[in-house]
Amino acid sequence: MNLNQVTIPSLNVVKSVEFYKTLGLQLIVDAAPRYVRFLCPDGDTTFSIHKVEKLSNDNQTIIYFEVENLTQTVDMLKQKGIAFNTEITEQSWLWTEIKLKDPDQNQIIIYTAGENRKNPPWRIN
């Protein structure tokens, strides 16, 4: 089994399109303002957004985007006007990450983990 895509809700799909294009995702399906789908720049995973009339008050979704060079990526995104909620932080689970929110307040974490993403020292056999 392979994860194909993740779909998130949005009050304003058109506004979200610009945000996610700025992050570097490639728009591949455009049925705005109702639905859009992106191809992630690395790998084969897709990411989609669908229009809703109301966002859930208890949205617990966290979207993780992995990059090779976190500092370089963050610097480039800041130059494009992306604002972050935290500084780059080294986590106890051996990932280095930074947090931000999209226009609909969906939590996003951009991170780098290297070998520790799939093979942390505490991985079970």
Residue 122 lies in a domain: no
Q: Which two tokens stand for residue 6?
A: 């993740």
Domain presence at residue 15:
yes
Q: What is the CATH number for 67?
A: 3.10.180.10
Tell me how many domains the chain contains: 1
Task: Flag whether 22 is in a domain.
Answer: yes
Nearest to 85 by CA among 104, 71, 105: 105
Q: Locate tokens 């789908």: which residue?
A: 37
Residue 73 is assigned to a structural domain of this protein: yes
pLDDT by residue, tens only, the chain of 125 residues: 788 899 999 999 999 999 999 999 999 999 999 999 999 998 889 999 999 999 988 878 899 999 999 999 999 999 999 999 999 999 999 999 999 999 999 999 999 999 999 999 999 98
Count the Cβ atoms, other than its own, within 10 Å of residue 19: 21
Domain residues for the domain of 76 are 5-53+60-117
Starting from the edge strand earliest in sequence, which strands make up the sheet with 96-101, in order? 62-66, 107-112, 96-101, 89-90
95: in domain: yes
CB 65 within 8 A of CB 82: no
Residue 123 lies in a domain: no
The structure tokens listed for 10 are: 């949005």
- The answer to the question of residue 125 being in a domain is no
